[in-house]
């Protein structure tokens, strides 16, 4: 259930009633969270494009090398090491990995996962866009019965 069900300070579907102030606080938190996720998205998109271009360069240079390579006269690995486009494109991919590109392209998802872990204790969750999801209250457990 989305946060919009809290308008007017009343909740539905077995949710505890909340005050207007709590409702406003949750709405403000949701807006801040959506803004944070949205701010990370363009940067993550750029890192995805950069990483895909680097991997595409590796694939294209390998295909180029494969079409020019004579497998009867030389072994494969030393032949690839002497082909400059392969060396440069593989170095670019390793450079991106060393710079943490694999984490930067997942930044919005990582943020949502960490917030989801914290909100689990408060019977809430969050989707990958930063919208709050109110979870139903768990019924109390019977004492050993």
35-94 per-position pLDDT tens digit: 999 999 898 999 999 999 999 999 998 888 888 776 666 677 777 777 888 889 999 999
User: Is the CB of residue 87 less than 8 Å from the CB of residue 115?
Assistant: no
Judged against a pLDDT cut of 50, whether residue 3 lies above it is answered with no
Q: Select the more confidently predicted residue: 142 or 41.
A: 41
pTM of the model: 0.65
Torsion of CA 95, 98, 101, 106, to 10 degrees: 160
User: Is the CB of residue 36 less than 8 Å from the CB of residue 132?
Assistant: no
- Extract the tokens encoding 108: 């919005």
For residue 28, what pLDDT is reported?
A: 92
For residue 71, what pLDDT is reported?
A: 63
Q: 8-21: per-residue pLDDT in tens?
A: 443 444 455 667 88
For residue 4, what pLDDT is reported?
A: 43
| Distance (Å, whole) CA 132 – CA 119 | 9
User: Is the CB of residue 137 less than 8 Å from the CB of residue 16?
Assistant: yes
Q: Is 138 left (phi over 0), alpha (psi -120 to 50) or beta?
A: beta
For residue 138, what pLDDT is reported?
A: 72
For residue 6, what pLDDT is reported?
A: 45
Averaged over 114-140, what is the pLDDT? 87
């Amino acid at each position: 259930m989305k946060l919009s069900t809290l308008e007017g300070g009343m909740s539905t579907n077995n949710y505890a009633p909340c005050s207007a102030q709590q409702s406003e606080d949750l709405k403000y938190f949701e807006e801040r969270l959506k803004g944070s996720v949205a701010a990370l998205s363009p940067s993550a998109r750029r890192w995805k494009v950069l990483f895909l271009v680097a991997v595409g360069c590796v694939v294209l240079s390998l295909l180029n090398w494969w079409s020019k390579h004579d497998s009867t006269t030389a072994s494969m690995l030393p032949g690839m090491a002497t082909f400059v486009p392969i060396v440069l494109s593989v170095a670019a991919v390793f450079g991106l990995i060393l710079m943490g590109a694999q984490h930067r392209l997942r930044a919005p998802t990582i943020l949502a996962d960490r917030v989801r872990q914290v909100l689990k204790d408060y019977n809430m969750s969050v989707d990958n866009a930063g919208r709050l999801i109110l979870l139903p209250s768990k019924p109390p457990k019977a004492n050993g019965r």
